[in-house]
Homo-oligomer: A and B are copies of this chain.
């Protein structure tokens, strides 16, 4: 599973049977002999370069995706020119499913942060597949609800946390999500994080300049050490305190 998190890297000609992210992904409830069916539904496997747009705000939407390898993010542009990052995507994340508001147009964009590999499905196929495998529908509902937890905490960040708290929280969230996926032993306090300061700023509703200053101060206090692409968090509990974050609600892995 480790290598599915490699940012960049060549993407093997992904076979569903040996998919390294399957136990994280939408299709984890399927039994091995149902996998060929899921594969049959898969419309395409795509390898995209860092910086590529997966889909763009305003386009019609008929596809949904599972991120197979690399990092990506969802964002929205304002008429004004600002941009807000809504969510970072890690391998195994499912995205692109959208309720049919906006007259069938995408309400936000998705972009590859590193080189990525992704599996593409048609949303119509997906609904059809749900008819056959109820567990998948429940699984999707569960994953969406899981996402909502992250969204809510993000809302709290932007609404009520100071700049230092926001950045601390974002780093902690990603630190936890990465370690959960990689099943990193608790003794390892270092993860790979391919973010620039500008991306952090766009996620936290700050400017890149201010992110630079805050990061500097966090390093001086030995709370985090971040030198792209290496993030070290000596004491996650301390970081949680700095983030003004109640860490008892640590994300669990359990399934519905």
Interface residues of chain A, those whose CB is within 8 Å of chain B, are 76, 78-80, 82-84, 86, 97-103, 105, 107-108, 127, 130-131, 134, 137-138, 140-149, 151-156, 158-161, 203-205, 244-246, 248-252, 254, 256
Task: Indicate if the CB atoms of B156 and A100 lie closer than 8 Å.
Answer: no
A82-B160, A99-B256 known; 12 new pairs, CB 8 Å cut-off, are A78-B246, A79-B245, A79-B246, A101-B249, A101-B252, A102-B248, A103-B252, A140-B141, A141-B141, A144-B144, A151-B155, A158-B158
B155 touches A144 (CB 8 A): no
CA distance A100 to B148 in the complex (A): 12
B107 touching A156, Cβ below 8 Å: no
Q: Are A159 and B107 touching (Cβ within 8 A)?
A: no
Q: From A166, which residue of chain B is reached at the shortest CB distance?
A: B159
Contacts of A245 in B (CB 8 A): 79
Alpha-carbon distance between A130 and B141 when the two chains are bound, in angstroms: 11
CB distance from A105 to the nearest CB of B (A): 7
Q: Could you show 5 A-B contacts with beta carbons less than 8 Å apart?
A: A82-B161, A105-B248, A107-B149, A134-B134, A134-B137
Q: Complex formed: what's the CA distance from A205 to B161 in Å?
A: 9
- Taken together as a complex, chains A and B put the C-alpha atoms of A140 and B145 apart, in Å, by 10
Which residue of the partner chain, among B86, B98, B101, B244, contacts A251 with CB atoms under 8 Å?
B101
Q: Which residue on B lies nearest to A147, using beta carbons?
A: B148
Give the chain B neighbours of A102 by CB distance below 8 A. Answer: 149, 248-250, 252
- Bound-state Cα–Cα, A152 to B252, Å: 23
* Least Cβ–Cβ distance between A204 and chain B, in angstroms: 7
- A143, B108: Cα distance in complex, Å: 18
Q: How far apart are the CA atoms of A83 and B155 in the complex, in Å?
A: 11
Asked if B144 and A145 sit within 8 Å, CB to CB, the answer is yes
- What's the least CB distance linking A28 to chain B, in Å? 14
Nearest CB in chain B to that of A159: its residue: B205
| A140 and B98 alpha carbons, distance in the complex (Å) | 13
User: Which residues from chain B contact A105 at a C-beta distance below 8 Å?
Assistant: 248-249
The smallest beta-carbon distance between A18 and chain B, in angstroms, is 27
Most buried by B among A98, A249, A256: A249
Q: How many angstroms from the CA of A102 to the CA of B152 in the assembled complex? A: 13
B residues near A205, Cβ cutoff 8 Å: 158-160
Partner of A148, one of B151, B252, B254, B256: B151
In the complex, A84 Cα to B8 Cα: how many Å? Answer: 37
